Amino acid sequence: MSAYHMIPFISQLPEAEQTIWIAALNRALPDERVIHVSEVEQVEKKHCQLAIVANPKAELLAEFENLTWLHSIWAGVEKLMISLAESPIEVVRLIDPRLSSTMAEAALAWTLYLHRDMPRYAKQQQNKHWQQHPHILASERRIGILGLGELGQASAKQLRKNGFQVMGWSRTKKHIAKVVTYSDNDGLAEMLSKSDILLCLLPLTPATQGLVDKAILANLPQGSAIINFARGGLIDNDALICALNSKHISHAVLDVFDHEPLAPDSVFWQHPDITVLPHISAPTNQASACDIVAKNIMQYRQTGIIPVCVDKTIGY
Ligand code: NAP
């Protein structure tokens, strides 16, 4: 096989995981040779046009002078977009319907957790306190979703199917059956004012960094709750803690953080009104991801056309 069909796998995953990924990718791409970046000979590096990546180190990418594009095995690529902002290398992120349905399942699971008052009943149990609270119908519960992309739309549809009132906000206006959609700042303010639960599914970009700040939290109804399944950097942590301590926000479910794993001394671990999850809402499914990456690469080999890339001007 020629060096032109050699694809380096560049990632910071643990070595054992990398080995499993490389084997699975080679099974999905029998006409290519996917190899660990450390095994690519110096003379072969200039022949590599593309690489398969998961949060690769910039200095390793720089060793491949003729890379034209990268296929990420992850859906979120914000770190890559920062490191490649000035580079001509294009980035293709993972778009996988299976990932979207996994996220939609998580959106439903943790919405139900908040909707059925599970954090409150868990606290009552700790105090041996027997008290029933009024039941609210799903049809009376309003869910606002920040971001109506692959994951936001799948989540919106799942929540609608389960009877919730669903709203969503995105940069460009969307039309989704039985979902009230908003765009622009006025639309955001209107949606926030009606959201009993706010679900964050925006990519982290210069425009969304710290977007959920004191003013946004203040705009939510008294006693509302937040779920962040996107990236930690979307939320101003100090503002969130203040809003929780003042009981303006009743609970936050956080799956993503500025620094992961979450540091042992983070206030989030012990906060009575925060549920900490270890970035588990929508893990990449290796089998479906390999099929999608393989299909995209085979199409590229046949046509020379790079699949739809992340738009560097907007960062997602
Ligand atoms: P996507 O398809 O690119 O959708 C992004 C959505 O956000 C779009 O609706 C977009 O609006 C909207 N948006 C972006 N910037 C905006 C802005 N400044 N103002 C308003 N709306 C804005 O992304 P996705 O596949 O749904 O993924 C979303 C994020 O989820 C990823 O970036 C990643 O960080 C995170 N994620 C988390 C996990 C996990 O396990 N926790 C797993 C996978 C992904 P338009 O529709 O108008 O473009």
pLDDT, residue 42, reads 95
Instruction: Report the relative pairing of strands 249-254 and 224-228 from DSSP bridges.
Output: parallel
**What distance in angstroms lies between residue 122's CA and the mean position of ligand 1's atoms?**
32
CA of 153 to the centre of ligand 1 (A): 10
**Ligand 1, from 167, 171, 281: best to mutate by most atoms within 8 Å of Cβ?**
171
Q: Of all atoms in ligand 1, which is nearest to the CA of residue 256?
A: 41
**Ligand 1 centroid to 315 CA: how many Å?**
10
201 lines ligand 1 (CB under 6 A): yes
**pLDDT tens across 249-293, in order?**
999 999 999 999 999 999 999 999 999 999 999 999 999 999 999
Ligand 1 centroid, distance to 152 Cα (angstroms): 7
Indicate whether residue 110 lines ligand 1 (CB < 6 A): no
d(Cα 105, Cα 309) in Å, to the nearest integer? 27
| Amino acid sitting at position 257 | F
Q: What is the CA(148)–ligand 1 centre distance, in A?
A: 7
Q: Pocket of ligand 1, candidates 99, 191, 201: which has the most ligand atoms within 8 Å of its Cβ, to mutate?
A: 201
Q: Which residue stretches of the chain have pLDDT < 50? A: none
Distance 89 CA to ligand 1 centre (A): 21
Q: Which of 33, 57, 53, 37 is nearest to 45 (CA)?
A: 37
Q: DSSP for the chain, please give it.
A: --GGGEEEEEE-S-HHHHHHHHHHHHHH-TTSEEEEGGGS-GGGGGG--EEEEES--HHHHTT-TT--EEEESSS--HHHHHHTTTSS-EEE----HHHHHHHHHHHHHHHHHHHTTHHHHHHHHHTT---------GGG-EEEEE--SHHHHHHHHHHHHTT-EEEEE-SS---BTTBEEE-HHHHHHHHHHT-SEEEE-----TTTTT-B-HHHHHHSPTTEEEEE-S-GGGB-HHHHHHHHHTTSEEEEEE---SSSSPPTT-HHHH-TTEEE--S-SSPPPHHHHHHHHHHHHHHHHHH-PPPP---TTTT-
The string of pLDDT tens digits covering residues 110-132 is 999 999 999 999 999 999 999 99
Pocket lining: 170 vs ligand 1, CB cutoff 6 Å: yes
C-beta separation of 74 from 54 below 8 A:
yes
CB count within 10 Å of CB 89 equals 18
Long-range contacts of 307-311 (CB under 8 A, 24+ apart): 307/71, 307/92, 308/92, 308/95, 309/69, 309/90, 309/91, 309/92, 310/77, 310/80, 310/81, 310/90, 310/91, 310/92, 310/93
pLDDT score recorded for residue 5: 86
* Cα–Cα distance, 199 to 168 (Å, whole number): 9
Query: Which ligand 1 atom is at minimum distance from the Cα of 211?
Result: 18
Q: What are the structure tokens assigned to 42, written together?
A: 């110096």
Cα separation, 286 vs 288, in Å, equals 6
Q: Which atom of ligand 1 sits closest to the CA of residue 172?
A: 47
Could you identify the atom of ligand 1 that is nearest to the CA of residue 148? Answer: 9
Lookup: tokens for 12:
């910071």
Q: What is the pLDDT of residue 1?
A: 54
Give the residue, by CA position, lying nearest to ligand 1 atom 23.
149
Cβ of 168 less than 6 Å from ligand 1: no
